[in-house]
């Protein structure tokens, strides 16, 4: 008769793991329900506080309902802020001011209108010609080898 604890079979292990997973899922689902309840209560409190503000619906003018709690309600995108649009006149005015500012800055630094000096090559005309002839020879050899 063997001594010690009986060995677990693969079926026993799978059954235990499935049971543990089931318990974990049940706990998560309970937590989700509790969180939804807390969210509903907090939303109701926020709505009550908004109603107390002057103007009725608060500074942003957004009233959440119980259908908005899930994020699927009609007014889900109402609370988003939109970017302010700049008029063409204002854009031109700012552009002119910045152009003037940068022109003054370039003048103060002593550089020309381009702002940068072109870097010159240090190769002499003879050296440039020698490189050109070498490259022509190399490409002629490649064309010849390709045929």
- The answer on pLDDT for 127 being more than 80 is yes
| pLDDT tens-digit readout, 71-109 | 555 445 567 788 889 999 999 999 999 999 999 998 888
- The C-alpha torsion from 109 through 112 and 116 to 119, rounded to 10°, is -120
Report whether pLDDT(64) > 50. no
pLDDT value of residue 96: 96
The whole-angstrom separation of Cα 47 and Cα 39 is 12
Mean per-residue pLDDT over the chain, rounded: 81
pLDDT at 126: 93
pLDDT, tens digit, for every residue of 11-44? Answer: 777 677 888 888 889 999 999 999 999 999 999 9
pLDDT at res. 1: 53
DSSP 7-25: PPPHHHHHHHHHHHHHHHH
Mean pLDDT of 49-71: 61
- Quick one: pLDDT at residue 81? 81
pTM for this predicted structure:
0.30
């Amino acid at each position: 008769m063997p001594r010690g604890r009986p060995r677990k079979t693969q079926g026993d292990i799978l059954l235990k793991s499935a049971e543990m997973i089931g318990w974990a899922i049940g706990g998560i689902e309970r937590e989700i329900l509790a969180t939804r309840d807390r969210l509903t209560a907090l939303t109701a409190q926020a709505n009550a506080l908004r109603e107390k503000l002057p103007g009725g619906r608060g500074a942003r003018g957004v009233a959440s309902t119980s259908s908005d709690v899930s994020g699927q309600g009609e007014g889900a995108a109402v609370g988003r802020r939109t970017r302010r649009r700049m008029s063409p006149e204002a854009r031109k005015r700012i552009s002119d001011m910045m152009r003037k500012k940068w022109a003054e800055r370039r003048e103060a630094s002593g550089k020309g209108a381009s702002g940068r000096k072109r870097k010159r090559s240090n190769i002499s005309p003879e050296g440039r010609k020698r490189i050109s002839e070498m490259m022509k020879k190399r490409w002629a050899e490649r064309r010849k080898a390709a045929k």
